[in-house]
Amino acid sequence: MFVAVYPHSPSPGLSQALLQAGIQPVPVSDAAGVADLEPEEGWAVAIIEITGDPVVGLAVARRVHDEATAPVLICAARAETQMLADAVCDDFVLTPIDAGELAARIIRLARPGRTDADQVLSFKELSLDLATYQATLDGKPIDLTYMEYELLRFFVSHTGRVWSREQLLSRVWGYDYFGGARTVDVHVRRLRAKLGEERTSWITTVRSVGYRFG
């Protein structure tokens, strides 16, 4: 999932909320940067943080929205709520930012227009609800972080194929994660633990290559 963030240096509060949500942003300097840096599969969301001169931030949000570059999520201080009445955006979040709320709003904007049939992925007794980001085993919910869910969703969508750690970083995290391939190993280990000992074979380690699901 690719998320563009304006301005290029977001506030510590927004940066921390994104980190806690398991999302690494791609900083952009202006609306043109959102278009120029757009990945092949498109942006999931463009987050426009209103800092400094709000007129500039709102202008960037309007241009990104008008050019249909990405769904626009505005981040603003509570003192600026009234200003948002005239803002051109798809949704907004107010500071101080809650990481869970931020992730939920990004997910909602990134996955519009799905039918009920599109909203559930299944593998054996595992079900993934794409609308609510809820995972269940035998009908019982399992507690996953945002990126654990994203990795499991990718695996379930691509059963049987072997993926290298680098491919998983690119396809799931959507950027060159500075933590390296160990991030994938850590998330796989956590998924195996949460799926339970009897299901650890669902995620197979392919020596010197990566992982296969199913």
The per-residue pLDDT for range 105-147, each reduced to its tens digit, is 888 887 655 444 457 889 999 999 877 778 999 989 999 888 8
Going along 134-199, which residue ranges are E strands? 134-137, 140-142, 162-164
Break the chain into its structural domains and give their ranges.
3-110, 116-213
To the question of domain 116-213 being in CATH 1.10.10.10, the answer is yes
**What is the Cα 93 distance to its own chain's centre?**
16
The Cβ of residue 72 has, within 10 Å, a number of other Cβ atoms equal to 27
pTM here? 0.57
Q: Output the CA–CA distances (angstroms, integers) from residue 186 to 133, 151, 174, 202, 208, in the order listed.
A: 21, 11, 17, 16, 16
Q: Name the fold adopted by 3-110.
A: Rossmann fold (3.40.50)
Tokens of 177: 């994660």
Helices and strands, counts by H and E, the chain: 7, 12
